[in-house]
């Protein structure tokens, strides 16, 4: 790999320190004491004759369009995120790939984030931010031969806003607005997603399905 300018090396060091700080902060939040009297992991809600967990994890998968500031052309992207909770805190691990086509990806990014969530019977809103690690093939500005055979790896920062409309309490469709930054590139875009929640617990106690009259 070619040597980067001193300013870029310093920026990479700053991003590494920032990523480690974020991880330590998230860890301290998880280990911190919480008011267990206000948090019941088994708390349930009854909706449409079924029982659902109030505190639940979910999976978001989808595809969309984006743009890379160091690769002047529109790109396509696909991604998947698993969001889960520890006590009252929400976390997300995920990945996305991007490139000129869905079948011609040249960027692979992984992230671990901390976020907030607002869920109701009809929608699910969330926002996450955290460190990321990207593997990509890019012609850097200081490259002479634009060697795309070299795989570069840089730490960065990932952020995502997600909005979901529920078709059922635990299934929905929605969109994501995301960006992923490191010292070489900034990727941002939108993604149409499918939402699958693990909230379902079974039929409501004492509930009887109405019998249709012939």
The CATH number given to whatever domain includes residue 129 is 2.40.160.20
Question: pLDDT per residue over 24-81, tens digit each?
Answer: 565 655 555 455 557 788 899 988 889 999 999 999 999 999 999 887 678 899 999 9
- To which residue do tokens 């984030």 refer? 113
Q: Is residue 39 part of a domain?
A: no
Q: Is residue 136 part of a domain?
A: yes
Residue 182 confidence (pLDDT) above 90? yes
In contact, 92 and 110? CB cutoff 8 Å? no
* Number of structural domains the chain divides into: 1
Segment 114-143 shows an average pLDDT of: 86
pLDDT at 140: 53
Q: Which 3 state secondary structure label does DSSP give 199?
A: coil
Residue 214 confidence (pLDDT) above 70? no
Question: pLDDT per residue over 87-103, tens digit each?
Answer: 889 999 999 999 888 88
Question: Which residue range forms the structural domain that includes residue 59?
Answer: 6-32+50-201
Cβ within 8 Å of residue 55, ≥6 positions away: 39, 41, 43, 85
pLDDT at 157: 96
For residues 31 and 209, what is the distance between their CA atoms, to the nearest angstrom? 44
Question: b vs e for 135-166, b when ≥16 Cβ sit within 10 Å of the residue's Cβ?
Answer: ebbbebeeeeeeeeeeeeebbbbbbbebbbeb
Residue 142 confidence (pLDDT) above 60? no
Q: Is residue 37 part of a domain?
A: no
């Amino acid at each position: 790999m070619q040597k980067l300018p001193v300013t870029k090396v310093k920026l990479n060091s700053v991003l590494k320190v920032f990523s480690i700080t974020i991880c330590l902060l998230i860890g301290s939040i998880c280990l911190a004491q919480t008011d267990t009297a206000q948090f019941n992991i088994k708390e349930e809600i009854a909706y449409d004759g079924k029982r659902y967990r109030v505190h639940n994890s979910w999976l978001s998968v989808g595809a969309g369009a984006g743009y890379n500031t160091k690769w002047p052309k529109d790109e396509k992207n696909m991604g998947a995120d698993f969001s889960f909770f520890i006590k009252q805190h929400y976390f997300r691990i995920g990945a996305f790939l991007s490139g000129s086509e869905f079948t011609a990806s040249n960027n692979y990014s992984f992230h671990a984030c901390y976020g907030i969530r607002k869920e109701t019977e009809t929608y699910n809103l969330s926002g996450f931010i955290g460190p990321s690690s990207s593997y990509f093939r890019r012609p850097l500005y200081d490259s002479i031969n634009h060697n795309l055979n070299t795989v570069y790896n840089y730490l960065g920062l990932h952020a995502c806003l997600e909005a979901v409309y529920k078709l059922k309490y635990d299934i929905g469709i929605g969109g994501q607005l995301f960006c992923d930054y490191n010292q070489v590139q900034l990727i941002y875009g939108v993604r149409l997603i499918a939402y699958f929640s693990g909230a379902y617990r079974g039929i409501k106690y004492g509930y009887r399905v109405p019998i249709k009259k012939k």
